Structure 1
Amino acid sequence: MSVFPKQMDTWQETVAVVQQYRDNSLDIDPPLSGIPLNLPSNVSEIPRKFLSAIELDITETPPEHLLEKLASGELSSVAVTQAFLRRAALAQRLTNCLTELLPRRALARAKELDDHLSQHGKPIGPLHGLPVSIKEQITLADHPLNYSYVSWVDNVPRHSAYLIDLLETAGAVIHARTTQPQLIMHLECASNLYGTTVNPFNCSLTSGGSSGGEGALLALKGSALGVGTDIGGSVRSPAANCGVWALRPTTGRVPMLGIDEDYIGQEAIRAVAGPMSTSFEGLRSFMRAVLRGRKPELKEPGLIPLGWRDDEAKSHFWSEEKGWRLKIGVMWDDGVVKPHPPVQRALRELVEALKEIDGVEIRDWEPYHHDQAWSIAASLYFPDGGADEERELRASGEPWLPLSRWIVKDNPFCKELGMHDLWDWTAKREQYRIKYASRWLETATGDDERGVPTGMVDVLLCPAGPGAAPPLENSKYWGYLAQWNVLDYPAAVFPVTTVDKGADKKDQSYRPRNEQDAFNHELYEPERYTDAPVGLQLVGRIYEDEKVLAALDFISSRIQLPLRKAT
């Protein structure tokens, strides 16, 4: 049953009602007051002026330490949930990152968990009492699910996504739902329903997309662990832009039942759900909670029955005989669009730090036709030529936003595909995957006694985008992210540095290679990117999600991330 009136004359009236519903959900106790109307460009420090010392301490504690305190009873779930609700409400005021806050639902759940701990003396599961935020796209029973379409506002599902059931069984407290863009196909976060979500470190820049509300909320520590979806970079873009951590798992690892209902049957490039967090351990906690010993493939047969193989991951890099051995391929540039100076510096500084670690081997990685990967992705994202998107927007009369128009109407690859066309593009995808796998195999230095290649590069280190968070309405190069969706490789994003106006000068002598490169080059002026975080990406081969996180764990345990902040 819809929570909104059935008959509204215009899409603008619908938007007003939906935003009022969102604003009413921000009813927290005690209420926030005194927040100025005119905010600075960087709002990241404002929570320190409006939250209590206890609230700051709770919300700035990494999720792994919060979980320890919740499991022991040192902190109550109610107290932790109240703190995150207040900080999330403040984050909404500062960046416009929420579609809905869930105070009643969250506090009722928190009390249940506290009662359980009191009665049984042990936590209910590995995420006991931890507030978790979710992208609006991830179905929550009896709450509106609109996919950022005005025409979908009266859609209220009766059942939650299977992933929500798994998280709550593990003890999570779902406390906030976050924004996503129109079509859920921007590397930014703007819709007619909710407006634009901005970057908390520089409000003229994007928070990223499509899980951009999660990025902004986590950056402001209104959540410690969030869940987004990724079909072209949608958890990694906001993580890189907002200075947090994210994992795009291999397809078939994390349950998608009850998510992505608008794209059921689109199998060519599939979306995945993945964690975003304020810490590395948040990513691992999510994957363990959802997959370790849970056997979700019994309910969702499309999943790969791998479980979560943490115990095996260390063996990829460590042996008693040789100690730690980690071979990292470094892709400095994808050969299509050259990264901005802050990204180049982040890579250089991290590689130099890695070279100082015993057991780490660095090899340069030559990209293989990354422009071809984009032509495959852009052709397969909308095999109906965007007809479904056109229909949903026309149903309410809401206008196309600029980046929606860019990815559908201005996209030369977006065409209605006949059966044989679809087969042809899918075959091109498979051939490209085979060629890229061969490129990885070529890094082997020998074979073992069974003829299995050995000495290959373990993971790739590369940019997470062609720059730091772009100015609003300018996220038009997906290559550094969508590349790995085409290959279905797991990829983690992590914070490395911030833009340094002194160190990151624009190369005035650079001559762009192509139109996309020229557009990206012209975007960069150091002052425009003031305070912007810079993230990088670690990529592994298909189904080696655990290996990617093990490698990132190895790196982050030896190098303090981010490396430094601009002065």
Structure 2
Amino acid sequence: MTVIPQQTSWQETARQVQAVRDRSIESVDPYVAAFPEKLKGRVIDVPRKYLTSAEQAITESPAEALVASLAAGKLTAVAVTNAFLRRAAIAQKLTNCIYELLPKRALARAKHLDEYFATHRKPSGPLHGLPISIKGHVGLEGRDLSAGFVSWTSKKSPVDANIVKILLNAGAVVYARTTEPQGLMALETCSNITGTTTNPHNTALTPGGSSGGESALQALYGSPLGIGSDIGGSIRSPAANCGLYGLKPSTGRLPLIGCDAYVLGCETILGTLGPISPTLGGVEIFMKTVIESQPWLTDSMMLPIPWRDQETHIHRNDKTLTVGVMWTDDVVTPAPAVTRALTEVVERLKIVEGVEVIEWKAFQQKEALEILTKLYAPDGGKAFAEHLQSSGEPYQPLTAWTLRDTPGIEELSQHGVWEWTGKREFFRYAYLQQWNTIAPEMDVILCPAFPTPAPIHDTSRYWGYTSLFNLLDYSALVFPVTKVDPERDAKDPTYTPKNDFDAWAYENYDPVAQEHAPVSLQLVAKRLEEEKLLQAFKEIKEKIGLPFVDCLA
């Protein structure tokens, strides 16, 4: 690969991008004044102080309610778009979650939709007037595609990404682009372009990554629905850290054309797009809308699987929903707050009708982690390093760990890539045989999404609870359960860590420092079972009343 150094310093390039963002914030009308001081700690309630009651009502409405109100003509697209632009501008000042706002584009679109409604007296599509935020590496015509690299900020998207086109055809309004980490490869959101994005539940904590701009924005109700992406947990980590719903579909269900990432073309571990939303209804609306557009008709990478009737996937012949509980992956022990959340869910599931709870033991997790380490960076991290060298920007701490310093990273030969990709396929086969043999009746797996609640910045090193399901290409949903309670979730001073990863997670768990952080869990179904997964979770949610605590309050 030939790398052409930039003529401008990386710091100046970053300042130019930030200036574009700042101008986009300043152009929001009415203007959102600067706060008197840099606010820290819990900032969830702050936006309400700067919004009208009408703006609060709009922005705190679920996506599904907004769609209904817009379709009935009770709200205009312009009013809804303006309200979310205002709240997003406030969210940026609180958490640094915005890559750029798009007020001119969004309001022109909203005005067009209102004119359509006035003329035809009906909505333009199933998402008529709904504002949707998108992660920065999802292409928008004429906007940059940095994917977290300073040297990529000059790259421009020639067209909107396919998934954006689908959402626009359904009537959506794209109004905000959100922050992402360096090269997209971290479960936190920090880059040399935009700096560090913080968690509005507690700004000392990370909102997760790599879709952390999305999660911080949505936790502040600055977006009702957004597009994230996930190659190792990058939808589920942010959703978990901020108390949201996030779905990682299997590959082949949502179109990737028009998105950018330095690993595009490398098929050792494939990434996927997916929805993040403050409500489960937002996730469902997104999936149903995109898949019912039949993306396989224009994209040969898409699998021709229509959105299937969910009721056909569970309860056949009066069968109960069977939930397998994986308490630990046997590599990193979940923190007390996570174990408490899992225990509370399991105890309630055991006493409701129509649900059977069984144990599911972790299967060859160490082998899975070894395969993942080899296949995330089969070139030994060389391409990533070259993209940094092109601008002169330094590594961020977590990307240095992930793509340079993790034990086991090496540049594979062509035969080595074949060998480790073959091991990936054998692992997938073995895992499925284990499921079919040990627990053939099991519908879904319930497990942690991360070893701890939202971590302190620069400490999210262990991806095992999420990346396992990227390796398997299974469908996975993260959902909120409760919040950290420093007394009930106290650290066990007698615990002896089992390995270096376990020690790192144990040392960086602090329920006092992590107070107010949501505690979330993960539900997993087999490959391409998104409909079954959502139906199973809806049943669980309704039967036991999830979340137990309002994680966005």
After TM superposition, is the score higher than 0.5?
Answer: yes
1:458 aligns with 2:443: yes
What CA distance in whole angstroms lies between the structure 1 residues aligned with 2:168 and 2:399? 34
What CA distance in whole angstroms lies between the structure 2 residues aligned with 1:128 and 1:556? 28
Q: 1:158 to 1:499 in 2, by over 3 A?
A: same
Paired residue type of 1:366: K
Confirm or deny: 8 A CA contact 1:178 1:214 kept in the other structure. Answer: yes
Superposed displacement of residue 307, structure 1: 1.8
CA-to-partner distance for each residue in 1:185-235, whole Å, 9 max, x for gaps? Answer: 000000000000011011111010000100100101100000011000000
Superposed displacement of residue 8, structure 1: 5.3
1:554 aligns with 2:539: yes
What CA distance in whole angstroms lies between the structure 2 residues aligned with 1:36 and 1:201? 20
Confirm or deny: 8 A CA contact 2:157 2:258 kept in the other structure. Answer: no
Paired residue type of 1:478: W
Superposed displacement of residue 559, structure 1: 3.0
Match of 2:381 in 1: 386
Match of 1:516 in 2: 501
1:336 to 331, 334, 346: 331
1:315 to 308, 312, 316: 312
Count of residues in Structure 1 that have an aligned counterpart in Structure 2: 547
Secondary structure, counterpart of 1:388 in structure 2: helix
Confirm or deny: 8 A CA contact 1:8 1:14 kept in the other structure. Answer: no
Match of 2:358 in 1: 363
1:37 aligns with 2:22: no
1:105 aligns with 2:102: no
Paired residue type of 1:370: Q
Superposed displacement of residue 18, structure 1: 1.0
Paired residue type of 2:449: A
1:498 aligns with 2:495: no
CA-to-partner distance for each residue in 1:109-155, whole Å, 9 max, x for gaps? Answer: 11111111111121111111100000001011111111111111111
Confirm or deny: 8 A CA contact 2:183 2:262 kept in the other structure. Answer: no
Secondary structure, counterpart of 2:481 in structure 1: strand
1:224 aligns with 2:224: yes
Structure 1: 4+ residue segments shifted above 4 A: none
Paired residue type of 2:526: R
Superposed displacement of residue 390, structure 1: 1.2
Q: Describe how 1:47-446 pairs up with structure 2 within 5 A.
A: 47-292=47-292, 294-309=293-308, 311=309, 313-319=310-316, 322=318, 325-444=320-439
Confirm or deny: 8 A CA contact 1:371 1:479 kept in the other structure. Answer: no
What CA distance in whole angstroms lies between the structure 2 residues aligned with 1:253 and 1:7? 38
What CA distance in whole angstroms lies between the structure 2 residues aligned with 1:237 and 1:318? 30
CA-to-partner distance for each residue in 1:494-521, whole Å, 9 max, x for gaps? Answer: 1100000111111111111111111111
Superposed displacement of residue 273, structure 1: 0.3
Confirm or deny: 8 A CA contact 1:63 1:224 kept in the other structure. Answer: yes
Superposed displacement of residue 528, structure 1: 1.2
Confirm or deny: 8 A CA contact 1:62 1:279 kept in the other structure. Answer: yes
Across the aligned residues of Structure 1 and Structure 2, the Cα RMSD in angstroms comes to 1.5
Confirm or deny: 8 A CA contact 1:341 1:506 kept in the other structure. Answer: yes
The percent of aligned pairs where both chains have the same amino acid is: 48
Paired residue type of 2:321: L
Superposed displacement of residue 558, structure 1: 2.7
Confirm or deny: 8 A CA contact 2:183 2:261 kept in the other structure. Answer: no
Any stretches of 5+ residues in structure 2 without a counterpart? Answer: none
Q: TM-score, normalised by structure 2?
A: 0.97
- Structure 1 window deviating more from structure 2 (485-494 vs 40-49): it is 40-49
Superposed displacement of residue 412, structure 1: 2.3
Paired residue type of 1:300: D
What CA distance in whole angstroms lies between the structure 1 residues aligned with 2:185 and 2:261? 15
Paired residue type of 2:433: S
What CA distance in whole angstroms lies between the structure 2 residues aligned with 1:372 and 1:54? 54
What CA distance in whole angstroms lies between the structure 1 residues aligned with 2:426 and 2:478? 27
Secondary structure, counterpart of 1:228 in structure 2: strand
Superposed displacement of residue 48, structure 1: 1.4
Paired residue type of 2:113: L
Secondary structure, counterpart of 1:460 in structure 2: strand
Paired residue type of 1:297: W
What CA distance in whole angstroms lies between the structure 1 residues aligned with 2:333 and 2:550? 23
Paired residue type of 1:10: S
Secondary structure, counterpart of 2:523 in structure 1: strand
Paired residue type of 2:375: L
Match of 1:3 in 2: none
What CA distance in whole angstroms lies between the structure 2 residues aligned with 1:7 and 1:234? 29
What CA distance in whole angstroms lies between the structure 2 residues aligned with 1:180 and 1:25? 18
Paired residue type of 1:520: A
Secondary structure, counterpart of 2:203 in structure 1: strand
Match of 2:453 in 1: 468
What CA distance in whole angstroms lies between the structure 1 residues aligned with 2:134 and 2:261? 16
Superposed displacement of residue 262, structure 1: 2.8
Paired residue type of 2:35: I
Secondary structure, counterpart of 1:328 in structure 2: strand
Confirm or deny: 8 A CA contact 1:224 1:277 kept in the other structure. Answer: yes
Q: TM-score, normalised by structure 1?
A: 0.94
Secondary structure, counterpart of 1:176 in structure 2: strand
CA-to-partner distance for each residue in 1:43-68, whole Å, 9 max, x for gaps? Answer: 00101111111111001111111110
What CA distance in whole angstroms lies between the structure 1 residues aligned with 2:270 and 2:314? 30
What CA distance in whole angstroms lies between the structure 1 residues aligned with 2:62 and 2:544? 17
What CA distance in whole angstroms lies between the structure 2 residues aligned with 1:135 and 1:175? 11
Paired residue type of 1:561: L
Superposed displacement of residue 34, structure 1: 5.2
What CA distance in whole angstroms lies between the structure 1 residues aligned with 2:30 and 2:261? 37
Match of 1:452 in 2: none
CA-to-partner distance for each residue in 1:520-550, whole Å, 9 max, x for gaps? Answer: 1111222111100111000000111111111
Confirm or deny: 8 A CA contact 2:6 2:390 kept in the other structure. Answer: no
What CA distance in whole angstroms lies between the structure 1 residues aligned with 2:534 and 2:410? 37
What CA distance in whole angstroms lies between the structure 2 residues aligned with 1:381 and 1:261? 13
Paired residue type of 2:422: A
What CA distance in whole angstroms lies between the structure 2 residues aligned with 1:172 and 1:502? 44
Paired residue type of 1:316: H
Secondary structure, counterpart of 2:312 in structure 1: helix
Q: Describe how 1:481-492 pairs up with structure 2 within 5 A.
A: 481-492=466-477
Confirm or deny: 8 A CA contact 1:443 1:457 kept in the other structure. Answer: no
- Structure 1 window deviating more from structure 2 (96-105 vs 7-16): it is 7-16
Confirm or deny: 8 A CA contact 2:145 2:156 kept in the other structure. Answer: yes
